[in-house]
A and B are shown apart, each in its own frame.
Chain A
Amino acid sequence: MKRLCLAAAAALFALATSSLGASAAEKLKVGFIYLGPVGDFGWTYQHEVARQNLVKALGDQIETTYLENVNEGPDAERSIEQLARTGHKLIFTTSFGYMEPTVKVAKRFPKLFFEHATGYKRLDNLATYSGRFYEGRYIQGQIAAKMSKTGVIGYIVSFPIPEVISGINATMLGAQSINPNIKFKIIWVNTWFDPGKEADAAKALVDQGADVLMQHTDSPAAMQIAAQRGILAFGQDSDMIKFGPKSQLTAIIDNWAPYYIDRTKAVLNGTWKSGDVWGGLKSKLVVMAPYTNMPDDVKKMAMETEAAITNGTLHPFKCPVVAQDGKTVECKGGTHLSDEQILGMNFYVRGIDDKIPGQ
């Protein structure tokens, strides 16, 4: 069946790309590769919102194309190459799993500019960018610990990549700063996007006593389960208040538009340079949705923490950070863990009662 799925995906891709041929000679063509459907209301949706803002800002000078539902792996390489061959000069690949395919294609097309989200491999014509989502997670951890009556937080996660693991850790450190005995129940669903499975995982967590839900998957299914069961939850990637008006505490919103506009302008002006941008609350690449469904004192605490992280007086991974096995993690960033340590995070902090799959 898997083979059939792949065949179907490949055929779908062929259909999707066949319409890309036509070109307007003088306009800069900007391409986007999306992991999910643009209507996932999560990760891909936010990239699409940013693309639309980019068109609004620079629409007279550029032309954009996107390919959605592109699987990570060989499909991705074909899709990126297709954009490269059809005159796109600037290409954004918007998922961690596109890292190797993007590197390969970027080497083959040295005159084009590539931008890869959430990765760490760079070339002269390949830049990386990401959000410091862990900053938002730390705030959410504090809110969760304040709001949970059972002291059990349910956490739905996709794949054990560093971004997800640093998110879990930041949440735990935030929660422990309020309640040192807080417990996490973690479910790996092995997918970014399967609303049914995300809902099932959410139900399992609530059935086992969790009264606040966190997620690092892309659909609003978990928020909706929280709303049905009358418990609290955090939105992911976009503001999901619509799906849980009485449940959403806040949400981490990915705000890519300013970056996309900046980088596109740089190509237009001929000033584009490879590099790494890792924006957080300060640069407004990560934005918190309004704090709702919580008492005023919790709201005040959340806003103070947000301010402290924004102005740099608080770092979620301030040293000492103690790993799950009880050993203190080497502090490479002075007073906090270095960016490299966070970007490559592959260990749990103390207090998390779970094993990272595959370790």
Chain B
Amino acid sequence: MGILEAIILSVISASTPLLLAASGELVVERSGVLNLGVEGMMIMGAACGFAGAWLTGSVIVGALCGIAAGAAMSAVFALLTLGLAVNQVATGLALTILGTGLSGLIGASFVGERIVPAPHLYLPLLTDLPLLGRILFGQDSFVYFSIALIIAIWLFLYRTRAGLVLRAIGDNHASAHALGYPVLKVRWLAVLFGGGCAGLAGAFMPLAYTPFFIPGMTAGRGWIALALVVFASWRPARLVGGAYLFGAVTIMQLHTQALGLGIPPQLMSSLPYLACVIVLVIISRTRGTAGSAAPASLGSVFVPDR
């Protein structure tokens, strides 16, 4: 295995949880809801995903448990912020705190246990192709799913009527409501979808990345996913670029250290954040279709008048 191939393989697995979690959050935010609880939903997905896989011996059951756990957490969030119109920022933070604690409780009896990780695809001939074989045809199903998911989200947002309604609600919930669109129902679905994605992203950690469960193992990736949505200016294509850029810089930083090139590791660690600032400046200076697609109603509470 060549070093370049090895690096690309590591980049893909490092980027996948970020992409999965950020994809869900992108849809949530396009509907006008800011859910800061991604980290909490992810770690719950990790704990329940591992528990499911360990108890049944099936990675697929584990992944489904992760999705269910993330969605259940997001239902709590939706109940509070959409049902009772509680402040979204505070509720999101509380969700992260709740998830961190609850996942530790659920996962406590599974610490130190091991499972067989998600299998990697193997297609005779294709997977054996030099250089690109394993990169294109030798990934686990989470990776393929994450790519399919973001394409589906793009198609949904920009090529379907439902996607248009969701974006309209995110941009101006009062007008959308006046036109008769079910603002709260759409947001409920978006939040549940986002929770499921975050749960799946969390489940990826113990099911494919490092096949064991340890409390706190998502280690802040939920926060990075949140930042990536802003970095991507709420656009699916840029989200893929952002997630992979972040993964690439992280892995490259490890490799440059091992090569002993003498580049300070602190400088390399700060590169993704520098890139983030630069991109945000460029976006804010750009008008029209290339600029930010920030939903105008993002984070504001909607109480329908009767």
| Contact A187–B212 (Cβ < 8 Å) | no
| Contact B97–A203 (Cβ < 8 Å) | no
| Contact B212–A243 (Cβ < 8 Å) | yes
Q: Which of A47-88 contact B (CB under 8 A)?
A: 69
Q: Which of B1-28 contact A (CB under 8 A)?
A: 1, 3, 6-7, 10, 14, 17
| Contact B258–A185 (Cβ < 8 Å) | yes
Asked if A161 lies at the interface with its beta carbon under 8 angstroms from chain B, I say no
Asked if B295 lies at the interface with its beta carbon under 8 angstroms from chain A, I say no
Residue numbers in A under 8 Å from B93 (CB-CB):
4, 7-8, 11
A289 CB to closest chain B CB, in angstroms? 15
| Contact A39–B209 (Cβ < 8 Å) | no
Q: Closest residue of chain B to A13, judged by CB?
A: B97
Residue numbers in B under 8 Å from A33 (CB-CB):
none
Taking A191-B219, A199-B210 as contacts, is the C-beta distance between A243 and B114 under 8 angstroms? yes
Q: Closest residue of chain B to A227, judged by CB?
A: B114
| Contact B250–A197 (Cβ < 8 Å) | yes
Proximity string of chain A (318-338) to chain B, C-beta cutoff 8 Å, 1 when within and 0 when not: 000000000000000000000
Asked if A304 lies at the interface with its beta carbon under 8 angstroms from chain B, I say no
Q: Closest residue of chain A to B218, judged by CB?
A: A196
| Contact A39–B101 (Cβ < 8 Å) | no
Q: Which of A210-225 contact B (CB under 8 A)?
A: 210, 219-221, 224
Asked if B262 lies at the interface with its beta carbon under 8 angstroms from chain A, I say yes
Q: Which of A122-154 contact B (CB under 8 A)?
A: 154
Interface centre among A4, A190, A353, A357 (most CB of B within 10 A): A4
Asked if A301 lies at the interface with its beta carbon under 8 angstroms from chain B, I say no
- How many Å lie between the Cα of A293 and that of B42 in the bound state? 37
| Contact B3–A208 (Cβ < 8 Å) | yes
Taking A154-B258, A208-B258 as contacts, is the C-beta distance between A200 and B10 under 8 angstroms? yes
Interface residues on A, range: 35 or more
Residue numbers in A under 8 Å from B111 (CB-CB):
39, 41
A351 CB to closest chain B CB, in angstroms? 13
Asked if A164 lies at the interface with its beta carbon under 8 angstroms from chain B, I say no
Asked if B278 lies at the interface with its beta carbon under 8 angstroms from chain A, I say no
| Contact B214–A40 (Cβ < 8 Å) | yes
The one of A37, A185, A354, A358 in contact with B214, judged by C-beta atoms closer than 8 angstroms, is A37
| Contact B257–A188 (Cβ < 8 Å) | yes
Residue numbers in B under 8 Å from A355 (CB-CB):
262
B19 CB to closest chain A CB, in angstroms? 14
- How many Å lie between the Cα of A204 and that of B259 in the bound state? 10
Q: Closest residue of chain A to B110, judged by CB?
A: A39
Interface residues on B, range: 35 or more
The one of B215, B223, B254, B269 in contact with A200, judged by C-beta atoms closer than 8 angstroms, is B254
Proximity string of chain A (170-210) to chain B, C-beta cutoff 8 Å, 1 when within and 0 when not: 00000000000000011111110111111111011101101
The one of B215, B221, B258, B265 in contact with A204, judged by C-beta atoms closer than 8 angstroms, is B258
Q: Closest residue of chain A to B264, judged by CB?
A: A357
| Contact A11–B227 (Cβ < 8 Å) | no
Q: Closest residue of chain B to A240, judged by CB?
A: B112
| Contact A207–B6 (Cβ < 8 Å) | yes
Asked if A25 lies at the interface with its beta carbon under 8 angstroms from chain B, I say no
| Contact B265–A194 (Cβ < 8 Å) | no
| Interface SS of A by simple majority | mixed
Residue numbers in A under 8 Å from B251 (CB-CB):
200, 204
Asked if B107 lies at the interface with its beta carbon under 8 angstroms from chain A, I say yes
A244 CB to closest chain B CB, in angstroms? 10
- How many Å lie between the Cα of A224 and that of B116 in the bound state? 12
Asked if A108 lies at the interface with its beta carbon under 8 angstroms from chain B, I say no
- How many Å lie between the Cα of A69 and that of B100 in the bound state? 10
Residue numbers in A under 8 Å from B108 (CB-CB):
39
- How many Å lie between the Cα of A191 and that of B219 in the bound state? 10
| Contact A12–B223 (Cβ < 8 Å) | no
| Contact A12–B219 (Cβ < 8 Å) | no
| Contact B219–A197 (Cβ < 8 Å) | yes
A149 CB to closest chain B CB, in angstroms? 17
| Contact B96–A203 (Cβ < 8 Å) | no
Residue numbers in B under 8 Å from A188 (CB-CB):
257, 265
The one of A41, A204, A224 in contact with B255, judged by C-beta atoms closer than 8 angstroms, is A204
Asked if B86 lies at the interface with its beta carbon under 8 angstroms from chain A, I say no
Proximity string of chain A (272-294) to chain B, C-beta cutoff 8 Å, 1 when within and 0 when not: 00000000000000000000000
The one of B94, B216, B220 in contact with A5, judged by C-beta atoms closer than 8 angstroms, is B220
- How many Å lie between the Cα of A198 and that of B250 in the bound state? 12
Residue numbers in A under 8 Å from B259 (CB-CB):
208
**Can you list 5 contacts pairing A with B, beta carbon distance less than 8 Å?**
A1-B223, A5-B220, A41-B112, A188-B257, A195-B212
Q: Give the top 8 A-B pairs by smallest Cβ distance, nearest first.
A: A37-B215, A207-B6, A39-B111, A194-B219, A204-B254, A195-B210, A185-B258, A187-B257
7 more CB-based (< 8 A) A-B contacts, given A11-B97, A39-B108, A190-B269: A4-B36, A12-B97, A37-B215, A190-B265, A196-B14, A205-B258, A207-B6
Q: Interface on B for A, CB 8 Å cutoff?
A: 1, 3, 6-7, 10, 14, 17, 36, 93-94, 96-97, 100-101, 104, 107-108, 111-112, 114, 205, 209-212, 214-217, 219-221, 223-224, 226-227, 250-251, 254-255, 257-260, 262, 264-266, 269
